[in-house]
Amino acid sequence: MPRIMLLGAPGSGKGTQAARFASDYDVPVIATGDILRKNIKENTPLGRKAQGYIEKGDLVPDDLVIAFVDSAFDEADARGGWLLDGFPRTTAQAEALDALLGKTGKKLDRVFLINVPKDELISRITGRLLCPVCGKIYHEKSMPPRKAGVCDLDDAVLIRRVDDNAETAKSRIAVYDEQTKPLIEYYAAKGILTEIDGTIGLEKIEEVIRETLG
Ligand SMILES: [Zn+2]
Residues lining ion ligand 1 (Cβ < 5 A) are 131, 133-134, 136, 151, 153-154, 156
DSSP string computed for 58-111: PPPPHHHHHHHHHHHHHSGGGSS-EEEES---SHHHHHHHHHHHHHTT----EE
Distance 163 CA to ligand 1 centre (A): 20
76: pLDDT strictly greater than 80: no
CATH assignment, 3-116+167-213:
3.40.50.300
DSSP 158: P
Buried b (16+ CB within 10 A) or exposed e, 106-129: eebebbbbbebeeeebbbbbbbbb
pLDDT above 80 for 201: yes
Mean pLDDT for 32-60 is 91
Residue range 122-163, pLDDT digits in tens? 999 999 999 999 999 999 988 999 999 999 999 999 999 988
Provide the CA 102 distance to its chain's centre, in angstroms: 23
> What are the start and end residues of each CATH 3.40.50.300 domain in the chain?
3-116+167-213
Burial class from Cβ neighbours inside 10 Å (0-12, 13-18, 19+) for residue 94 reads buried
128 labelled catalytic: yes
